[in-house]
Chain A
């Protein structure tokens, strides 16, 4: 078995007596799309916050490409190649689509303590940003103000920004949140393409999408991982069926 790109051991996070992440251990192998599913309130987003570094864990460790990243903040993790997207769209509305992506390129391309040359005209930043936009098929929207995009396009931009950071591993937090049928079809196709170049940790509610895309699936219930395996294994796991899938069928 290959060494995992992301290696999480015994991660915990609790608010008072409430354990939101309870002893989570997880290995994500390079090149894999690893989905994390679970019912509402299972702690999926909290786990993403912990993995991305925006929320400090109470205990446990995280290693990325062999390096201990447990104590690193979000910005430092991005520089090492671990970037996230947000469940609630978080883009720079007042900037152009291109600048949203170019900003992420800028973050890894030399010093930003440059005070006189106009950043918006830096060809190298813009070229790499365009490449990221092209991958999510937003290149024809490059000059639009990001705030004026449709919801689905904003979700695409979220992914483009994560790509533009140059990350090897993308943590996608419910990329399909709030999207309509056609929008979600576009995004699912995009993610399928991403698999060829990136390792992905995908938190998603849309079961159809998860089982279509994932190489491995972990099921999170009340902060605990109750099962990890191939989509088939997970689908047939009795504990998962009672805790999660059964609930859906019943609904």
Chain B
């Protein structure tokens, strides 16, 4: 009875979502992978132009936007060990910041982005502070509940379209100029932000702050025993991730020129989790790859069968079973081979 009573209890309370004990990709491997992905993504407009396929550019923008959202979720899920099931709410809040400000005559994208970041961060701060009082399954449930609250709030907001959503009269402007009406400019805007977010988060996870976050993920009790209280670190990560997802929402609103509560359903949150797990948790670059792979597979499988979700499900099961660590784990095993 005297042996490790509360140690055991403390571990049992947490769900084991630790990705893999060792880093999936070395720092260099991750750089190479990110370089390849960014080069491919960044050159898609050239391909669209060469093939004279403007829809490809739209797809590329969508991929980029969800890559931003998945990337931000990876900070929470893969580094913060917080299974947030309400991440789509932040995308929706960011999108509504655009729609609501635009409806009130404020169309500048910088102002809209600032508002999106503020609203998302405040929502994350409040809901995160409450959610982090719980752990494991309860954390999942409570973030889901907050996400649904945001969803139903927007559904009931009839002044801005309610359930039907709201169509934007035009895209956001930059200092009064309508440059974003060009799909190409919008794409490179989103792409630039993705690269910025990736570089920023990569520095962040290696920093003092990120090290505390990673340590807490691996062994919460140990971190407390050396003097760290996990709460402020996890909350800060939650807020940063929420703000980044909010910016993804700004781009999504502009890409679709339409905003609706459907952006923030719990199914969307679930898809974001799938993207991160699919790509490999706790690798950042994996989240980007996961988002791209998920959306492309979705499009591709939908061409064959209307039951494409079944096939996607099967693929996911196989991936999780056979490649611990998702796409990033798979690639690292292919390239690294014997790396222990």
Binding site for B on A (CB under 8 A): 20, 40-46, 49, 52, 54-55, 73-75, 78-79, 83-84, 86-88, 90-95, 99, 103-104, 106-108, 111-120, 122, 145, 147, 161, 164-165
Contact yes or no, B207 A95, CB < 8 A: no
Q: Is the CB of B208 within 8 A of A114?
A: yes
Q: A75-B224, A117-B208 are in contact. Are A94 and B21 (CB under 8 A)?
A: yes
- A119-B204 Cα distance, complex, nearest whole Å: 10
CA–CA, A120 to B211, complex, Å?
9
Selected from B3, B21, B206, B212, the residue in CB contact (under 8 A) with A112 is B212
Is B210 part of the contact surface with A, judged by Cβ < 8 Å?
yes
Which residue of the partner chain B has the closest CB to A45? B2
Between A40, A99, A115, the greatest number of chain B beta carbons within 10 A of the residue's beta carbon is seen for A115
Contact of A115 with B204 in the complex, beta carbons under 8 Å: yes
Chain A nearest CB from B232 CB (Å) reads: 8
The proximity string for B residues 222-234 relative to A, scoring 1 for CB distances below 8 Å and 0 otherwise, is 1111111100110
Cβ of B21: which chain A residues have Cβ within 8 Å of it? 93-94, 147
Please tell me if the beta carbons of B218 and A103 are within 8 angstroms of each other in the complex.
Answer: no
Residues of B within 8 A of A114 (CB): 207-209
Q: Least Cβ distance of A105 to chain B in Å?
A: 9
Q: How many A-B residue pairs have CB under 8 A?
A: 132
User: What residues of chain B lie closer than 8 Å to A46, measured between beta carbons?
Assistant: 1-2, 5
Q: Mark B186-213, 1 if CB is under 8 A from A, else 0.
A: 0000000000000000011011111110
Q: How far apart are A96's CB and chain B's nearest CB, in angstroms?
A: 11
Binary A-proximity of B1-15 (CB < 8 A = 1, otherwise 0):
111111100000000
Considering only CB atoms and an 8 Å cut-off, how many residues of chain B contact the other chain?
Answer: 35
Given contacts A40-B2, A115-B203, A118-B207, contact A165 B227 (CB under 8 A): yes
Residues in A with CB closer than 8 Å to B1 are 20, 41, 43, 46
If over half of B's interface residues share one DSSP class (helix, strand or loop), that class is named, otherwise mixed; here it is: helix
Q: For residue B203, which residue of chain A has the nearest CB? A: A116
Given contacts A112-B212, A117-B208, A120-B206, contact A88 B228 (CB under 8 A): no
Residues of B contacting A88 in the complex (Cβ-Cβ under 8 angstroms)? 3-4, 7
Residues of chain A within 8 A (CB-CB) of B215 are 92, 95, 103
Residue of B nearest to A118 (CB): B206
Q: How far is the CB of A144 from chain B (nearest CB, A)?
A: 12
Known: A49-B5, A55-B6. Contact between A90 and B219, CB under 8 A? Answer: yes
Q: Is the CB of B207 within 8 A of A117?
A: yes
C-alpha gap A106/B213 in the complex (Å)? 13
Closest to B226 in A: A104
Which residues of B in the span 19-74 have a Cβ within 8 Å of any Cβ on A? 21-23
Contacts of A73 in B (CB 8 A): 224, 229
Is B236 close to A, CB under 8 A? Answer: yes
Q: Would you list the 8 A-B pairs with minimal beta carbon distance, nearest first?
A: A78-B227, A107-B227, A104-B226, A45-B2, A119-B208, A114-B208, A119-B211, A118-B206
Determine if A75 and B228 form an interchain contact, defined as CB atoms under 8 angstroms apart: yes
B118 at the interface (CB under 8 A from A): no
CA distance A45 to B5 in the complex (A): 8
Q: Looking across the interface, which residue of chain A has its beta carbon closest to that of B221?
A: A90
A78 CA to B22 CA, complexed, in Å: 28
Bound form: Cα–Cα A79–B226 in Å:
8
Which residues 74-107 of B sit at the A interface, judged by CB distance below 8 A? Answer: none
With A44-B2, A93-B21, A94-B21 known as contacts, the answer to whether A165 contacts B226 (CB < 8 A) is: yes
When the two chains form their complex, are residues A91 and B22 in contact, meaning their CB atoms are under 8 A apart? Answer: no
